[in-house]
Structure 1
Amino acid sequence: MKVVSCLHAAVMVSDLDRSIEFYTGTLGLAQVDRDLNYPGAWYQIGDFQIHLIENANYQASDGIDLTVSTRNPHIALGIQDLEQAQQRLLAANCVVKMSNSGRAALFTQDPDGNAIELTLVDPERESTKKFDII
C-alpha cells in the first residue's frame, strides 16, 4: 500500500451553528456543498477538507493542554500572517498559545475544545503542495 495524499479530517462538534461561526467567521475557511443526510459542514483548504460532524452529545477530551500544544491531537493549518491570525483569534475571545518550540506557530481551540495549530508557511511553495515552515 502507498498512501498518496490526505483527503480530509473529521472533527466532531456538539453545536454545528456555533462551530460554523468559528470555522467560517473566525478562521475564514470556505464552506463547500455536501449532500449527506446528517448534520455537518465541509470546508475546502486546497486539496484537503475539514468535515465538521455534529453530535449533540460530543464532549472534547478534558486532556487538551495548550501549554504542551504539540502533544495534543490537533489539525495543523498553514497560514501566511501569524500576527493577523493571533489578533483575529484574540478579537473573537479565543484561547491563543504560541508554540513552545519557537516556531512561528500558535495553537487555539474551536468551541468544543478541539485543538488547532496555525503555522506560518512560505506562500511561494504553495504550487508544489509542500510548505516550508518558517
Structure 2
Amino acid sequence: MSITDYRHTAILVSDLDRAEWFYGEVLGLTQVERPFRFPGTWYQVGAMQLHLIVSESPSRELASEKWGRNPHVAFGIDDLDGMLNRLEAAGCPIQRSASGRPALFTQDPDGNIVELSAE
C-alpha cells in the first residue's frame, strides 16, 4: 500500500465572501463545483484542489514571526513581481522569504498563510 497522489488541502475561514475575494479575485484561483451542502468553496489549482471550509473560529496563532515556518499552503507562480503588485494593491500583508529565494508570503483575511514562489 502506498500514497499515489495529493488531492487537496482544506483550510478554515470565518467569512466565505472575504475568503472568496482573496482566493478568487486577489490570487486568481478558479472556483469549481462542490457536492456538499455545508458552507465552503473549492478551487482547482493544477491537479490539486484548495477547499475553503467555513468555521466560526478559524483563528491562527503563529509559531514563528517568519511566516514560512508556520502551517501554510504554497503555490507556484509565474510572475512574482506581478503578484506582489496585486497583493499590495489589495492591501494584503506581505513578507518576503527570509532565505532570499524568489518567494513571498501573505495571509488571507483569517490569517491563513499562503506562500507564493517563482521557483
The structure carrying a bigger helix percent of its residues is 1
For 1:51, what is the secondary structure of its paired residue?
strand
> Which residue does 1:59 correspond to in 2?
58
> Runs of at least 4 residues of structure 1 off by over 3 A?
none
| 1:60 CA drift (Å) | 1.9
> Which residue does 1:88 correspond to in 2?
86
For 2:6, what is the secondary structure of its paired residue?
coil
2:82 is aligned with 1:45: no
| 1:64 CA drift (Å) | 5.7
Question: Which amino acid counterpart does residue 107 of structure 2 have in structure 1?
Answer: Q
What CA RMSD, in Å, does the superposition of the two structures yield over aligned residues?
Answer: 1.1
2:99 is aligned with 1:98: no
Q: Aligned partners of 1:64, 1:11: CA distance in 2, in Å?
A: 17
> How many aligned residue pairs are there?
119
Change (3 A) 1:64 1:29: farther
> Which residue does 2:105 correspond to in 1?
107
Equivalent runs, 1:10-21 vs 2, <5 Å: 10-21=10-21
| 1:34 CA drift (Å) | 0.9
Q: Aligned partners of 2:87, 2:45: CA distance in 1, in Å?
A: 19
5+ residue gaps in structure 2?
none
TM, length-normalised to structure 1: 0.85
| 1:3 CA drift (Å) | 1.4
Higher relative contact order structure (alpha carbons within 8 Å, sequence separation ≥ 6): 2
5+ residue gaps in structure 1?
121-132
Question: Which amino acid counterpart does residue 22 of structure 1 have in structure 2?
Answer: F
| 1:35 CA drift (Å) | 1.6
